[in-house]
Amino acid sequence: MPASDPTPTAAPSAVAHPREPDAARLAEATRVFALLSDATRLHVLWLLALEESDVGSLADRVAASRTAVSQHLAKLRLAGLVEARREGRHMHYRLTDGHLRRLVTEALSHADHRVTGEAPHD
């Protein structure tokens, strides 16, 4: 990469897994997309992509009840998409990996382009 090009590059194996998806991988990806198909869950995941958070803060930000957010977090934990740690009386949640963080942010970036009419880009 020339010194004047500010675009970072990474080896394909560092960010992608370029193998033909088999039935197990397609089923797992479908399961993840199904979990992302709920607006409240997607909003919670987007917030967790930004930073670790507790149920009360998430409920305030997504304008949902603590009970509803707790139920969504339980599904996401069971699916292995988020993990929790206890700090005093509070549970703090975070995403389990960078692939999910990028998937959520890219999905919402794509949606932003569709809503605003801004031209797509790589």
Contact 7, 1 (CB under 8 A): yes
- Residue 9: per-residue pLDDT: 40
- Residue 114: per-residue pLDDT: 95
CA–CA separation, 77 vs 94, rounded Å?
Answer: 10
- Residue 14: per-residue pLDDT: 54
- Residue 50: per-residue pLDDT: 97
CATH number of 41-116: 1.10.10.10
**Tokens representing 106?**
């890219």
**Cα distances (angstroms) measured from residue 81 to each of 36, 57, 68, 92:** 10, 19, 17, 14
- Domain chopping of the chain, boundaries: 41-116
What parts of the chain have a pLDDT lower than 70?
1-15
- Residue 15: per-residue pLDDT: 64
